[in-house]
Amino acid sequence: MNLRKIVPVLGIFACVACKNSEVKEEKVSVEEEELMEASAFQDTIQGKGVTLNKIENGDLTAYFTNYGARLVGLWVPNEDGELTDVVVGFGDIEGYLNSTEAYFGATIGRYGNRIAKGRFSLDGEEYQLPINNDPNTLHGGKSGFEDKVWEVEQPNDSTLIFSYTSQDGEEGFPGNLETTVTYALTDDNALRITYEATTDEKTVVNLTNHAFFNLNGEGSGSILNHDMKIFADRYTPVDSTLIPTGELASVEDTPFDFRETKTIGKDINENNTQLENGQGYDHNFVLNGAYGKMRPAAIVTGEKSGITMEVFTQEPGIQFYSGNFMQGENTFKNGSKDDQDDHRTAFALETQHFPDAPNQPDFPSTVLEPGEKYQTVSIYKFSVAEKKPKK
């Protein structure tokens, strides 16, 4: 088990009597034991070195690996002040290589979410991508950004910068795409993610992060009693293959109405075609307000921990995924499994442009031109809800 008990830094003071009766203090420090083992991630993949990297801000501690530029764990104080790992993941690189779910914590690209039948056109030229979510392309193809080893640099204790060059034709996409993702823990206890990209040929781009969260802590059971609010009056209904129909439908009088706080599980078992298509929630919500400006997207609170996560973004949409396809075959950092009988043990909130936008002219465009810069910021901010009195 790679999750290890945190040991506080101790200060030991020794008093030494001198001839002049002055007292001299000597401080001896004991190094803090790490929450995760860096050696468990040391490997060579695609001829490149894989590492485990840590950032912290005094209250929060986060670990990342450059394999997939992915978030591995995020420790947040709960309502009792105890550090709680709210991100589901693995304690070694083998866990990510052998997982039944490829996207745990990963940076997703070139195109997050689905493209219908893996096809789109630019200036009359059609591009065919690999089909990896039959009959569609999901999250950039068979070997998307989650499967790449990124370059990494750490300018300070609270910031990591990952970079990757996606070559022209990789997974069928045109243009050499220079991509940078910056993760930073801020003074107000937020994880700020900045995505940037440039291209030398017209292409499509839609970057996001696929962290799986359980705000009660990794391995703590179902997320169905988490309270959630989503700042969206509309969502994009999908067909049976989870491709948007093109409609921007009202959430009113549907299970997709999270405008007022309710538990994730309140309406998840309703007799509803859209829930049947996704086997739960796996839908894009159309966020209120003008995209391009930072605004609230969602608020979620763990009912056991009191930990609240607020999501802010410049993106037009957010994909809420209720963990519908966990298979009970993955063992996580703390030794727990994604229980097949209680499979909704984590959720994802992926800030994004809309699925299949390259084929949907009425959706916000995902086209990136040479000379332009793709840049977007999303924020996941953590706090503790007011502690409820014990009965």
**Residues labelled catalytic:** 210, 350
How far is 378 from 194, CA to CA, in rounded Å? Answer: 7
How far is 219 from 345, CA to CA, in rounded Å? Answer: 7
Whether the Cβ atoms of residue 115 and residue 137 lie closer than 8 Å to each other: yes
Q: Is the dihedral of CA 52, 346, 208, 119 positive or negative?
A: positive
Report the amino acid identity of residue 34. E
Helix, coil or strand: residue 311? strand
- Six-digit token string for 316: 């037009």
> What is the maximum alpha-carbon separation in the chain?
90
Q: Taking Cα atoms as reference points, which of 223, 248, 315, 322 lies closest to residue 278?
A: 322
Q: Taking Cα atoms as reference points, which of 285, 291, 60 lies closest to residue 192?
A: 60
Helix, coil or strand: residue 204? strand
User: Which residues share a beta bridge with 269?
Assistant: none
Q: Taking Cα atoms as reference points, which of 62, 46, 56 lies closest to residue 151?
A: 46
Report the amino acid identity of residue 138. L
Whether the Cβ atoms of residue 202 and residue 174 lie closer than 8 Å to each other: yes
Report the amino acid identity of residue 265. G
